[in-house]
Chain A
Amino acid sequence: MREVLEGSQAVAEAVRLARVKVISAYPITPQTHIVEELAKYCADGSLDGRFICVESEHSAMASVIGAESGGVRSFTASSSHGLALMHEMLHWAAGARLPIVMAEVNRALGPGWNLWVDQTDSLSQRDTGWLQFYCSDGQEALDTTLLAYRLAEILNLPIMVVMDAFFLSHTYEPVDVPSQADVDAFLPPYEPKFLMDTKNPYALDEVAPINVYMEMRRSIQMAMEAAPGIYQAIEDEFYTRFGRRYGLVEPYRCEDADIVFVTAGTAAATARVAVDTLRAKGERVGLLRLRMFRPFPAEAFRLGLAHAKKVIVLDRNCSFGAGGVFAQELKAALYGPEAPKLYSYVAGMGGRDVTVDTFSELFTMTRDQDEPPLGSVWYGVNEEMLRS
């Protein structure tokens, strides 16, 4: 059924449809609407589960870990400082091989306090063993949450469904909400591969000595390596049922493009308009939207950019001392003599606007420059302010 939903509501709707049993969360702007909506569902009985109002995000993740270890499907959501405070338990969830799904709303980290979009929060969790998917509209947030449970429970790895602060979390759009019966057919009841059980007593998450630790880590990496293939198979099934698919990366007018934009989140929706505008002026430009970030879909990027001469990466994030994270990862994935030239731009951090004009300008700068500079170029920064 088509409904007009806020991005946050779309996620909450997916959590209800996934028949999640335990939700444990701590409020933080701009994630609050997701958890408030779920608190409402739990209160009015439309979601048959328990909502735990914990006292911190560290405890939110810890209690979700407890719930999944107890054998039930669980959910949490966070953002920015909340995600940062969870960091230890993010490692724990992955190491414990629990198929937790969380929504993460990209927001800037302080100081200074800033509520607006910035991807550095989720990207600085890239080494925790969580899969990450970046969404660019409400429908995708709903669908990805459902896909995530299915995938997580096959891989036994946790998944973060990532969405932009406000531009997605607080924006109302028409969303096709699937029926409970269809979702039930796609997402079977959770069957934990292991759980706390007095009839079959073993210890979870105990000491791992030298002779086993590395194999445990290797098996996480192996699950990550298997993820793109498994995901695509699941998405094929999703497509036959629901008629929508997204891919690991999503190409737009890339076929004959000499220059290709790469970006993620709602900025990609803006880039799409920029591509049309530039195409209308005769420029051969396309967009390859990054959707899956962990595992990094290197193969999909290699294929998608096989004919591109130049790539423009727009990062709404920065790994200080290195530069834009998507650009770094993509450079590493494309490394070799055949690689297109990669132009890295950091823009739109802390909620600064990224507009169609931004992309058009980056396009012109890149087109007119033979060799890319070594590091990331910061776009839209007030140089005057930096000098004072």
Chain B
Amino acid sequence: MKNELYSGAEYLNPGHVGCPGCGATIAMKLALRALGEHTMLVIPASCWAIIGGNYPQSSLKVPILHTAFATTAAAASGLRAALDLRGDRETTIVGWAGDGGTFDIGFQALSAAAERGEDFIYVCYDNEAYMNTGVQRSSSTPWGARTMTTPGDKWKRTYKKNIVEIMAAHRIPYAATASIAYPEDLERKLRKAASIRSGLRFIHLYSSCPTGWGFAPEHSVRVARLAVQTRAFPLYEVEDGTTYAINQAGDKPVREYLRTQSRFRHLSDEDIAQIQKYVDQEWKRLVRKAEEA
């Protein structure tokens, strides 16, 4: 059987400098397969600013506008306006930022663009910390994780922001989570986002990071799959900010996911029980929303 997914064009050049097993690089490869050549990317400071390549080279076959850390959604808004004024409605603009560039420093610009109803896709590839600067916590870092700014016994004891709910609260036409371990689901969601041509579409893309999380590079996809299977990172989508649908079931204990990564190694059984409780509550809330729809 011919696999649709692996037959098309590739937009990621070989020789990029992403770490071996980099989930964020897999994420881009899959996303561009779905979006195709009529795509322009806006990329802020992040690992992807480096993976994108050094002048005069580029690791991607589509145009990239590199931008300052806080500015992805604002720069994408300007670029969209320019294309519209030049009569180009064919090109899809994609803001492609890390969790730090989305949850933290870029959040103001993102929220404003969502409220204005800007026409672009915003992908937050989430590796749950500031990886490019050497693993410091972001507001996407999960409860329990150690980073360079949540070291030793001061590991992070606040929960990750629920960015999809925050974006859904802007009542944007489409918000969804996606994972590199579920390429069909990921590509379907990006195509769907591209087909909606009004308002901001938001994709929260789980991108495992062997370097920052502490696991062997060959396990990137396995770790990502476990995140979904344990409901630590559920796959779901939200239309118009209100209609929730869950795309993937999962029932494994969260311990199985946590135990794959050294950033969680210090957690005691009680800590893990607390995470399990949180995951269960969040899942219940999600199911309730999906049932309401």
Contacts and interface: CB of A to CB of B under 8 A. Distances in A.
B148 to A, nearest CB: 4
B107 A55 contact: yes
B68 interface: yes
A381 to B, nearest CB: 16
Contacts of B66: 110-113
Interface residues of B, number: 26
A81 B151 contact: no
A81 B69 contact: yes
A51 B134 CA distance: 18
B290 to A, nearest CB: 31
Interface string A102-114: 0000000011110
Contact of B45 (A39, A40, A55, A81): A81
B55 interface: yes
Contacts of A32: 133-134, 136, 148
Interface string A51-76: 10101100000000000000000000
A44 interface: yes
Contact of B105 (A53, A56, A112): A56
Interface string A29-48: 10010011001101110000
A362 interface: no
A85 B70 contact: yes
A27 B104 contact: no
B274 interface: no
Interface in A1-51: 26-29, 32, 35-36, 39-40, 42-44, 51
Contacts of B55: 112
Contacts of B154: 39, 42-43
B136 A27 contact: yes
Given A32-B134, A113-B45, A40 B152 contact: yes
B153 A39 contact: no
A53 B137 contact: yes
Contacts of B45: 81, 113
Interface string B42-69: 0001000110000100000000001011
B130 interface: yes
Interface string B120-154: 00000000001011101101000000001111111
A27 B152 contact: no
Contacts of B69: 81, 85
A379 to B, nearest CB: 22
B139 A55 contact: yes
A55 B104 contact: yes
Given A32-B136, A56-B104, A43 B152 contact: yes
A112 B132 CA distance: 16
A35 B130 CA distance: 14
Contacts of B132: 29
Contacts of A44: 152-153
A27 B130 contact: yes
A85 B45 CA distance: 13
A35 B50 CA distance: 22
B97 to A, nearest CB: 14
A28 B49 CA distance: 14
Nearest to B141: A53
A32 B131 CA distance: 12
Contacts of A56: 70, 104-105
Nearest to B156: A53
A27 B132 CA distance: 10
Contacts of B50: 113
A50 B146 CA distance: 18
B265 to A, nearest CB: 16
Given A27-B133, A55-B139, A36 B105 contact: no
Contacts of A28: 133
A36 B68 CA distance: 23
Given A55-B107, A81-B45, A27 B149 contact: yes
A55 B105 contact: yes
B142 to A, nearest CB: 15
Given A55-B104, A81-B45, A112-B55, A40 B151 contact: yes
Contacts of B104: 55-56
Contacts of A43: 150-154
Given A85-B70, A111-B66, A35 B107 contact: no
Contact of A36 (B70, B136, B139, B153): B136
Interface string A202-229: 0000000000000000000000000000
Which of A43, A51, A55 is packed against the most chain B CB atoms within 10 Å?
A55
B237 to A, nearest CB: 27
Contacts of A27: 130, 133-134, 136, 148-149
Contacts of A111: 66
Contacts of B153: 43-44
B138 to A, nearest CB: 8
A39 B150 CA distance: 7
A55 B150 CA distance: 15
A29 B150 contact: no
A69 to B, nearest CB: 23
B70 A39 contact: no
B105 A35 contact: no
Given A32-B133, A35-B149, 7 more contacts: A27-B133, A32-B136, A40-B152, A55-B103, A55-B105, A81-B68, A113-B49
Interface of A: 26-29, 32, 35-36, 39-40, 42-44, 51, 53, 55-56, 81, 85, 110-113
29 contacts: A27-B130, A27-B134, A27-B136, A27-B148, A29-B133, A32-B134, A32-B136, A36-B136, A36-B148, A36-B151, A39-B148, A39-B149, A43-B150, A43-B152, A44-B153, A51-B149, A53-B137, A53-B149, A53-B150, A55-B103, A55-B107, A81-B68, A85-B69, A110-B66, A110-B68, A111-B66, A112-B55, A112-B66, A113-B45
